[in-house]
Amino acid sequence: MESKAQESEKERLQLGKEVKNLIAEASVHRRILRTINNAVRPEDLLAPEPVIPHVEFPGFALGTPAGDDHGPEPIDKKAEEKRKRERAVQLKFASEILKFRDENYPLGFRHVRELEHGKLLDIRRFPDLFFHLTHLTMGQWADFPVDIPDRGPGSETGVIHAAMCHTGKVLFITADETTLLWDPNNTAPSTFEDPTNQPHLMPSGYSQLCGHHVFLSSGKLLSVGGGGYSPSSLARAGYVFDPPSKTWTRTANNMSEAKWYPTAVALGDERVLVTCGNRGGHMEIYDEATNSFSTVTGDDNNFPNLYPGLHLLPSHSIFYTRTGWGDAGTGGSPSNDPQSAYFSFSASNAGAWKNIQNASANRTKGMSVLLLSSAPPYVRIMVIGGVGGDRSTYEIADVTSLSGATSWGPATPFPDGIDRSLASAVLLPNGSVFVAGGTPTTNSPCSIFNPSTGGWSAMAELPSVRHYHSVAILLPSGQVMMAGWQNTKIEIFSPPYMFSARPTISSAPSLVHHGRTFAISSPDAETITKVVLVRPMAVTHQTDSEQKVIEMANRHDHATPSQILCTAPDSLHPHSNAQKGYYMMFAVNAQDVPSVAKWIYLH
């Protein structure tokens, strides 16, 4: 029978082997070398404390799970003393590594083998550090990027628009001005297919490029405006894409004016608000029932930027964040722009804008996301990046209740100090925000923001340059797809939760009604703490008015342990908290790890 010491050494050897396998990945190897070469103090070679709690890995005490309402576990004094002794030993070896580096490799190590040859790097002595630098805590970009086929005669490449359809396919509007469907579950070239028809080939058609799009209550996609790489007088129509039939049709009438770089927002009453584009014009309403447009009265904001950032709030107001592509202010002067405002409807096609306190930074070329919570503050807007000296900061406004006193929080620097202009931000199923791109270099850092704690976690570096004309969307798998910026590749990011044991939804209804209670089944029901509805994204030029993660009230069915009873949101009309339509439903466990999504129709 093995002694405890033998068992401990056996576990340590196994741990060293597993960590060594993890760092065989090229990106992890580069990350480790960068960490060691940039270290100034021995403490820089020890993993941050505490280790990220939502990842499970043999041999690590990961602390209290996120979301535990019972507070931290009582401190085990013996375990704490042991940890301190182990840390002291690690600091001693870390000091020797830095001394060996400075004496023998003043320009830095080129390969981990150089440390091994110096007999200084025993991976088993630094498991936390190496574990922290792997995909288990930093996520992973797939090393099999997908090539997007070229369909058109133009010289442009890549995609500029993307929308996650309820059929599981992603609809692209490509840089060659055609539309294309892609199956994210299949990375073979044959997974791309053409729709039945193309909008620009229809009578009086035009390119959908540089228009905007939102999902309707039917699951169809409304695309408005556009016209290509410059304003077009033809861009007055709306086109509707039906995912099951893969067919485009034209709206019953045209908008009152052409719109280039507009923003469209799906309202809670089965209508869509369409803003002006090209720094001028008026807002209009598309009505699903009549398949037609009408003008809005009371629109006096005259947005000074292209693709103005707009979000529908649960109060049925429209919030303007002053993100979007293009210069802010008349003549490019940001001082002439109210920076933030909200539009309140006084009638179905009428309302008024009211300014709130100015933001402290120029957020043009930034991106905004809507943060909903089941606890106060219930509704917030987060804006990241911008232009000039403001691109390395973010701001958050509490918009739970709106008034002229509503204001932005301080402009807070990103912890990594990176400038981000035209970055992408994606809401993940656990409510966190994944931020990528917006920098002019490859291998640029990515991060995840936790709205509950205000903390940031560094993620794996983005392999490609992604800023202007980039798209990033959440997939039903829980992964994030990224494409665009003169790049024919699709790259897939797997957040750290993809490498943990994930809960599953074994059955769920395909249709639920607003405010009604329904049951889902899961073999992991007892570990599931949240069930969320995620509105599928439809993004272009970092602008997306669709994103939202809605946590449903839920309770465990004690009579049937494998069941969870959920209450669909928004029982009152208009359904501005959760518009009628298709959603991805995720179950999330106590470690903030989500399931794969089930598509569900909210009626």
pLDDT tens profile 556-568? 988 899 999 999 9
Look at the chain and report how many structural domains it folds into: 2
Per-residue pLDDT of 176-225, as tens digits, reads 888 999 999 887 766 889 999 999 888 888 889 999 999 999 999 999 99
State the DSSP H helix or E strand holding residue 444, giving kind and residue range, or none if neither: strand 444-450
In a 3-state reduction of DSSP, which class is residue 138?
A: helix
Higher pLDDT, 442 or 118: 442
In a 3-state reduction of DSSP, which class is residue 519?
A: strand
Residue 271 resides in a domain: no
Residue 444 resides in a domain: no
User: In the prediction, which pLDDT does 8 show?
Assistant: 55
Higher pLDDT, 19 or 257: 257
Q: Is residue 297 within 8 Å of 350, Cβ to Cβ?
A: yes
Q: Is residue 550 within 8 Å of 28, Cβ to Cβ?
A: no
Q: Is residue 549 within 8 Å of 501, Cβ to Cβ?
A: no
When computed from its CA atoms, the radius of gyration of the chain, rounded to whole angstroms, is 25
What is the CATH number for 552? Answer: 2.60.40.10
Per-residue pLDDT of 344-398, as tens digits, reads 999 999 999 888 887 777 788 889 999 999 999 999 999 999 887 778 999 999 9
Q: Which two tokens stand for residue 254?
A: 């045209």
- What region, left, alpha or beta, does residue 243 occupy, with left being phi > 0 and alpha being psi -120 to 50 degrees? alpha
User: In the prediction, which pLDDT does 64 show?
Assistant: 34
CA 299 from centre of chain: 31
Residue 359 resides in a domain: no
Per-residue pLDDT of 50-108, as tens digits, reads 433 333 333 333 333 333 444 444 557 887 888 788 788 878 888 888 888 898 899 99
Among 115, 140, 165, the domain-final residue is: 140
Q: Give the structural domain span for 16.
A: 4-140
Distance CA 205, CA 261 (A): 17
Residue 101 resides in a domain: yes
- What region, left, alpha or beta, does residue 513 occupy, with left being phi > 0 and alpha being psi -120 to 50 degrees? beta
Outline where 62-195 has alpha helix (H).
77-104, 112-117, 127-132, 135-138
Residue 555 resides in a domain: yes
| Summary mean pLDDT of the chain | 85
Residue 259 resides in a domain: no
**Greatest pairwise CA separation for the chain in angstroms:** 84
CA 597 from centre of chain: 15
Residue 551 resides in a domain: yes
Among 140, 164, 197, the domain-final residue is: 140
Higher pLDDT, 104 or 171: 171
Residue 66 resides in a domain: yes
User: In the prediction, which pLDDT does 2 show?
Assistant: 53
User: In the prediction, which pLDDT does 21 show?
Assistant: 66
Q: Is residue 453 within 8 Å of 396, Cβ to Cβ?
A: no
Per-residue pLDDT of 21-59, as tens digits, reads 666 677 788 888 888 899 999 888 876 544 333 333 333
Distance CA 73, CA 79 (A): 13
Among 140, 167, 193, the domain-final residue is: 140
